[in-house]
Amino acid sequence: MGTFLGYMSFSMIEGLAVYALILYIFRIQLMNFIWPVVLMITVTNLQSFFIRDELELTAISPIINIIFTILFLAIFIRIPIIWSMVMTITGYIAYALLQTLIILLSNGYLSLGQAQEYVWKGYLIQLIAGVLGTAIGWLLYKFGYGFSFEFEKLRLKWERILVILLLIGFLVGLVVMIYFKAIFANFVVLVVALLIFLSYSLRKDQSEW
């Protein structure tokens, strides 16, 4: 239980930093979407925990998180799918660079090996990178730095259909993967999340796309 709570808590801090960088770098106010973002981070952290500890497929977890984030930006924040991809990759790379810099500046104290051997050091990396990432993103937004584009110019005419097909394809892939691993809890978390995505997307008037 302690491992689960620790993982969820520090991963939440880390997730907020990633979303802060994704949104603030592109001049979007995080606080306008804070509760959907928190819900999204919770869902992705749950699936990451189950995949890491139960499915033993650690390499797949970041890929699922990236896909979830792209779909979240496209469906809930109404960002065109192309820009959703660009923003997501930019935010994750920015956070990875920040985390790498922290590890390098620690002079071996917070190395990856140390983080694997001592859980609390891994949490410390997440805490420092999470706080700094969120602060950097907020400062960029506050002082008017970042990129501002007319996102709608890159919205595809058939984008709504593409997003729905991506959701269905992603859902089918996860069902197959999780069925063979027989992990029911992760199956439920991911299916519920994807059904929420799909339902929200279908309820939106087609003229908005």
Number of domains in the chain: 1
CA 190/CA 46 separation, integer angstroms? 9
How far CA 36 is from CA of 31, 58, 118, 136, 193, in Å, comes to: 10, 25, 32, 21, 12
Name the DSSP letter for residue 28.
Answer: -
Q: Is the pLDDT of residue 21 over 80?
A: yes
Q: Average pLDDT, whole number, for the chain? A: 77
CA 190/CA 178 separation, integer angstroms? 10
In degrees and rounded to multiples of 5, residue 56 shows phi and psi of: 55, 40
Residue 197 in domain: no
Residue 172 in domain: no
| Token code pair at residue 74 | 């496209």
Residue 79 in domain: yes
Name the DSSP letter for residue 111.
Answer: -
For residues 18 and 65, the model is more confident at 18
Give pLDDT, residue 15: 94
Residue 74 host element (H or E): helix 60-75
User: How many residues does the structure list for the chain?
Assistant: 209
For residues 130 and 70, the model is more confident at 130
Single-letter residue type at 40: M
Q: Tell me the percentage of the chain whose pLDDT exceeds 90.
A: 24
Q: Which of 16-30, 105-119, 129-143 has the lowest mean pLDDT?
A: 105-119
Single-letter residue type at 23: L
| Token code pair at residue 139 | 């400062």
CA 109/CA 115 separation, integer angstroms? 9
CA 87/CA 30 separation, integer angstroms? 13
Give pLDDT, residue 52: 64
Residue 157 in domain: no
CA 195/CA 191 separation, integer angstroms? 6
Give pLDDT, residue 37: 94
The pLDDT tens digits for 161-205 are 666 666 666 656 655 555 555 455 555 555 565 565 556 555 554
Residue 135 in domain: yes
Would you place residue 206 in the very low, low, confident or very high pLDDT band (cuts 50, 70, 90)?
Answer: very low
Structural domain range at position 113: 2-152
Residue 205 in domain: no
Inter-axis angle of helices 2-25 and 119-142, to 10 degrees? 20
For residues 116 and 133, the model is more confident at 133
Residue 94 in domain: yes
Residue 171 in domain: no
The pLDDT tens digits for 80-124 are 877 888 888 888 889 988 988 998 888 878 777 777 778 888 899
